[in-house]
């Protein structure tokens, strides 16, 4: 049983919850599911803004038909081509064959390649407008947030910004659709994890988009994932502003890879020493157990990062390699780094961590240390030196933060 939810006059939420998919983009864990938000504007012309993933077509069509009561769809706006928002497009156009698809010059080659859709297309450019009767829609390009074709649609009549993935979140909409109907504290990690994992690589495009969207009188944000924002518009914009500037808080993320516990002992010693030196926000992750999306999310939050790995077959441990590769790929900025390793039988982890430090250009707070097997007294002391150097740097940078 599905029902549309009225957002503003003539505008309805017709999204769906997905609690079955385990991995978003077949990679990012979805412990709390995800919502695919789609919207319907019922005016002299009927407009669908973004569609959904294909797995909930029946519910989706039911919602649309219940609102339209026999009317047809005139336009489908594709703000973003990724298939979690266009998977339903072919079926929707099959149902409403007279509908035109609205996108930009970068959208249409993708539509052709993904779905072989090339008819009834209406191209919009920066600032193009569409008058649907009572509603005046305008279009703004937001390239690389987070695909090349991404754009947003602004409804001047209601002040609604249909923002695509921007301002989105993981997590289903469990009854509440609007921010003031939901427990935002419960969704907190899914909101920041969505930014850090999906959008985080594109800080500079985000800054350009925020400048552009800041000129619009936005009263409501209708993203393609997460809550509809009507009470926390300025809050989510402020968070994007801080995130896109790579602003971080006082704290340290320790991520370690350990086969038989020796590297973990070194990590624990570092964590204890950080605490003794006044650092309160410490997050310790075992890379074999924690998905990189959670470690990356914490790294986006906190300035300090300490990485430690045992060697594995003359290189670094595979799950640490995954984390390093992702951080390099995302290009996370503005961090302090400490690192350590354990030789196992070959060595090799420190060499890769050193290469990583050069690639991401983070400030290394202290020379690294490598133990061989069980950490001895001098190994433990060397790890404590790394911790003390990190704590001292953080206290200097954030003198008033706990």
Binding site for ligand FEO (CB under 6 A): 80, 82, 84-85, 146, 165, 224-225
CB of 169 vs ligand FEO, minimal distance in Å: 11
Closest to 2 measured CA to CA, from 33, 30, 32, 38: 38
Residue 372, judged by CB atoms within 10 A of its CB (0-12, 13-18, 19+), counts as: middle
Closest CA to 248 of 327, 194, 305: 305
Nearer to ligand FEO, 150 or 263 (CB): 150
Distance CA 179, CA 159 (A): 16
- CB 201 to ligand FEO: min, Å: 12
Supply the minimum distance, in Å, between the C-beta of residue 224 and ligand FEO: 5
Contact, 75 vs 122, CB < 8 A? yes
**Smallest separation, CB 307 to ligand FEO (Å):** 29
Question: Looking at beta carbons only, is 162 or 362 nearer to ligand FEO?
Answer: 162
Rank residues 141 and 350 by Cβ distance to ligand FEO and give the closer one: 141
Beta carbon of residue 86, minimum distance to ligand FEO (angstroms, whole number): 9
Minimum CB distance to ligand FEO, residue 82 (Å): 4
**What is the smallest separation between the CB atom of 347 and ligand FEO, expressed in angstroms?**
41
Complex with ligand FEO: residue 225 or 291, whichever CB lies closer:
225
Q: Are 309 and 356 in contact (CB under 8 A)?
A: no
| Cβ nearer to ligand FEO, comparing 107 with 344 | 107
Alpha carbon distances (Å) from 23 to 34, 36, 52, 188, 355: 10, 14, 16, 19, 30
Rounded to 10 deg, the angle between the 377-397 and 262-276 helix axes is: 40
Choice between 79 and 158, CB closer to ligand FEO: 79
3-state secondary structure 17-41: EECCCCEECCCEECCCCEEECCEEE
DSSP run (H or E) holding 184: helix 184-194
The answer to whether the bond into 168 is cis (omega within 30° of 0) is: no
Residues in the chain: 402
Nearer to ligand FEO, 51 or 344 (CB): 51
Cβ(34)–Cβ(55) under 8 Å? no
> Which one, 225 or 250, has the nearer CB to ligand FEO?
225
* Residue closer to ligand FEO, measured from CB, 80 or 230: 80
Give the integer Cα–Cα distance in Å for 210 and 281: 30
Q: How far is the CB of 400 from ligand FEO (least distance, A)?
A: 38
CA distances in angstroms from 137 to 45, 65, 77, 152, 311, listed in the order given: 12, 23, 11, 10, 57
Residue 83 near residue 52 (C-beta atoms within 8 A):
no
Question: For ligand FEO, which is the closer residue by CB, 146 or 384?
Answer: 146
Phi-psi region of 267 (alpha: psi -120 to 50; beta: other; left: phi over 0): alpha
Residue with the shortest CB distance to ligand FEO: 82
* Nearest-5° Cα angle at 125, 44 to 110: 95
Residue 148 or 176: the one with the smaller Cβ distance to ligand FEO is 148
The three-class DSSP label of residue 244 is helix
CB of 35 to ligand FEO, least distance (A): 10
Smallest distance from the beta carbon of 149 to ligand FEO, in angstroms? 10
Q: How far is the CB of 165 from ligand FEO (least distance, A)?
A: 4
User: Which residues fall within 8 angstroms of residue 386, CB to CB, at 6 or more apart?
Assistant: 270, 306, 338, 339, 340, 365, 366, 368, 369
């Amino acid at each position: 049983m599905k029902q549309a939810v009225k957002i503003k006059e003539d505008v309805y939420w017709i999204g769906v919850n997905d609690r079955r998919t385990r991995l978003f983009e077949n990679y990012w864990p979805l412990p709390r599911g995800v919502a695919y938000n789609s919207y319907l504007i019922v005016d002299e012309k009927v407009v669908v803004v973004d569609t959904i993933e294909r797995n909930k077509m029946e519910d989706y069509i039911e919602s649309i038909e219940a609102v339209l009561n026999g009317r047809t769809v005139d336009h489908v706006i594709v703000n973003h081509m990724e298939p979690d928002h266009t998977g339903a497009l072919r079926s929707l156009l099959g149902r409403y064959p007279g509908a035109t698809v609205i996108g930009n010059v970068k959208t249409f080659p993708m539509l052709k390649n993904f779905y072989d859709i090339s008819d009834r297309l209406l191209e919009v450019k920066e600032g193009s407008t569409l008058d649907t009767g009572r509603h005046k829609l305008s279009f703004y390009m937001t390239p690389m947030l987070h695909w090349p074709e991404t754009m947003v649609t602004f409804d001047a009549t209601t002040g609604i910004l249909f923002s695509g993935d921007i301002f989105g979140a993981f997590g289903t909409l469990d009854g509440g659709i609007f921010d003031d109907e939901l427990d935002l504290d419960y969704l907190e990690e899914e909101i920041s994890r969505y930014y850090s994992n999906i959008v985080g690589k594109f800080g500079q495009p985000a800054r350009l988009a925020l400048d552009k969207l800041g000129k619009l009188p936005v009263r409501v944000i209708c993203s393609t994932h997460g809550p509809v924002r009507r009470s926390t518009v300025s809050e989510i914009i402020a968070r994007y502003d801080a995130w896109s500037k790579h602003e971080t808080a006082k704290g340290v993320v320790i991520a370690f890879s350990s086969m038989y516990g020796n590297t973990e002992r070194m990590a624990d010693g570092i964590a204890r020493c950080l605490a003794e030196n006044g650092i309160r926000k410490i997050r310790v992750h075992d890379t074999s157990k924690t998905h990189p999306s959670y470690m990356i999310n914490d790294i986006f939050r906190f300035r300090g990062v300490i990485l430690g790995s045992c060697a594995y077959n003359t290189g670094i441990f595979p799950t640490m390699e995954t984390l390093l590769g992702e951080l390099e790929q995302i290009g996370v900025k503005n961090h302090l780094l400490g690192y350590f390793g354990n030789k196992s039988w070959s060595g090799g982890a420190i060499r890769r961590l050193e290469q990583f430090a050069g690639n991401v250009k983070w400030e290394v707070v202290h020379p690294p240390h490598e133990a061989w097997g069980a950490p001895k007294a001098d190994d433990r002391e060397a790890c404590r030196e790394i911790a003390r150097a990190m704590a001292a740097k953080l206290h200097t940078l954030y003198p008033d933060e706990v």
